[in-house]
C-alpha cells in the first residue's frame, strides 16, 4: 500500500485505476490474514524482571523473525515495580517475574489469564570489580567496616533473596547503597562505585570481563523460581500465549541455560 500513490500517478484511464484499486484491496486483505508484509504492525508488550534483559532480547529477535510485522517491546525493571504497574492497569501482554511471591500479587489481583509457569531458576553471586580491591573472598567479607556494598532493595526479588541469605548466615551487612533492581546494583560495581554487590549469577555472566563473580555456599538458602504468565487484559492474547510457549520451549531453555539460568522442565 505504500507504493499505491506512485502507481496511481502512472495509471491511465478509469479502467486501469479500477483494476489497480481492486488488486491493492485484495493484497491488503491477504496480508492482514497471513501476517505478511503489508499488514498492520502488531506490538507484543512484555513486562519482565531486569535480570531477564539479555535472554529475552535474544528471544525477541527469534520471535520477530517468526512473526513478520510483529515487534516485541519490553519493560524491564524490578519485579515488584512491574507487578504494581500491572495491577494498576498498565497495558501489557506478558509478565515474567524473578520470584513467585511477586507473581502472586498479579494473580491475586485477577490480572493473570492462566496459571503462571516456572521456566527458570537463579541464585545469588558476589560481583566485584576485576581487580577486587577489597579482597572479597566470601559472604562474610561483605560485613567489613570499610567495604562498600550495593544491595537490591528488599521489596524486589533479588533483595528478598539477599535478606534471606544474610539472615540464614548471620552476616550483618550495612550497604552503601540500596538499588531498585539487580542490574542497577551490578552497574555500581561496573562503574567502580562499590567494592561488591550481591546480584544474580546470570548478571555476573552477562557483565563479562567488567566484573568478577565469587560463588558462596550460603547462596543455596535462597534460589529464586522465575514464573511467566500471559495477562488477562492482554492487547495481543494470541501473541502472548505464543511468547509464553517460546520461553518454556527447548529453544527458550537453551538461551536461558547459556546465560547461566537453571532451566525448569516444562510441566
Q: Are residues 152 and 90 in the same domain?
A: no
Q: Count of CB atoms within 10 A of residue 255's CB? A: 20
Strands 149-152 and 177-179: parallel
Q: Are residues 150 and 219 in the same domain?
A: yes
d(CA 219, CA 233) in angstroms, rounded, equals 37
Q: Judge whether 149 lies within some domain.
A: yes
Q: Judge whether 33 lies within some domain.
A: no
Q: Are residues 216 and 126 in the same domain?
A: yes
Q: Are residues 106 and 131 in the same domain?
A: no
Q: Binding residue per annotation — 14?
A: no
Q: Residue 138 sits in which domain range?
A: 122-223
Q: Binding residue per annotation — 79?
A: yes
pTM: 0.82
Q: Judge whether 202 lies within some domain.
A: yes
Q: Are residues 236 and 114 in the same domain?
A: yes
CATH assignment of the domain containing 210 = 3.40.190.10
Q: Judge whether 14 lies within some domain.
A: no
Q: What is the pLDDT along the chain (267 residues), one digit of tens a residue?
A: 333 332 323 333 333 323 323 333 333 333 333 344 456 799 999 999 999 999 999 999 999 999 999 999 999 999 999 999 999 999 999 999 999 999 999 999 999 998 999 999 999 999 999 999 999 999 999 999 999 999 999 999 999 999 999 999 999 999 999 999 999 999 999 999 999 999 999 999 999 999 999 999 999 999 999 999 999 999 999 999 999 999 999 999 999 999 999 997 655
- Residue ending a domain, choose from 223, 239, 254: 223
Domains of the chain: total? 2
Q: Binding residue per annotation — 200?
A: yes
Q: Judge whether 112 lies within some domain.
A: yes
Q: Judge whether 148 lies within some domain.
A: yes
Q: Binding residue per annotation — 182?
A: yes
Amino acid at each position: 500500500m505504500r507504493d499505491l500513490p506512485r502507481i496511481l500517478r502512472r495509471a491511465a484511464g478509469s479502467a486501469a485505476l479500477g483494476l489497480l484499486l481492486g488488486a491493492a484491496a485484495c493484497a491488503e486483505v491477504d496480508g492482514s490474514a497471513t501476517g505478511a508484509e503489508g499488514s498492520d504492525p502488531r506490538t507484543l508488550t512484555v513486562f519482565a524482571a531486569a535480570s531477564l534483559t539479555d535472554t529475552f532480547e535474544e528471544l525477541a529477535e527469534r520471535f520477530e523473525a517468526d512473526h513478520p510485522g510483529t515487534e516485541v517491546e519490553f519493560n524491564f525493571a524490578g519485579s515488584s515495580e512491574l507487578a504494581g504497574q500491572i495491577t494498576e492497569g498498565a497495558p501489557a501482554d506478558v509478565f515474567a517475574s524473578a520470584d513467585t511471591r511477586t507473581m502472586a500479587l498479579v494473580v491475586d489481583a485477577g490480572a493473570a489469564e492462566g496459571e503462571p509457569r516456572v521456566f527458570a531458576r537463579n541464585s545469588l553471586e558476589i560481583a566485584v570489580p576485576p581487580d577486587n580491591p577489597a579482597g572479597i573472598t566470601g559472604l562474610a567479607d561483605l560485613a567489613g567496616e570499610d567495604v562498600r556494598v550495593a544491595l537490591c532493595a528488599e521489596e524486589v526479588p533479588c533483595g528478598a533473596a539477599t535478606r534471606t541469605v544474610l539472615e540464614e548466615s548471620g552476616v550483618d551487612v550495612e550497604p552503601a547503597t540500596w538499588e531498585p533492581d539487580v542490574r542497577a546494583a551490578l552497574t555500581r560495581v561496573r562503574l567502580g562505585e562499590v567494592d561488591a554487590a550481591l546480584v544474580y549469577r546470570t548478571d555476573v555472566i552477562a557483565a563479562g570481563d567488567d566484573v568478577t563473580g565469587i560463588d558462596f555456599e550460603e547462596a543455596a538458602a535462597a534460589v529464586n523460581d522465575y514464573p511467566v504468565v500471559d495477562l488477562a487484559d492482554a492487547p495481543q492474547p494470541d501473541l502472548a500465549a505464543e511468547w509464553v510457549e517460546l520461553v518454556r520451549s527447548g529453544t527458550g531453555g537453551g538461551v536461558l541455560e547459556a546465560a547461566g539460568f537453571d532451566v525448569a522442565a516444562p510441566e
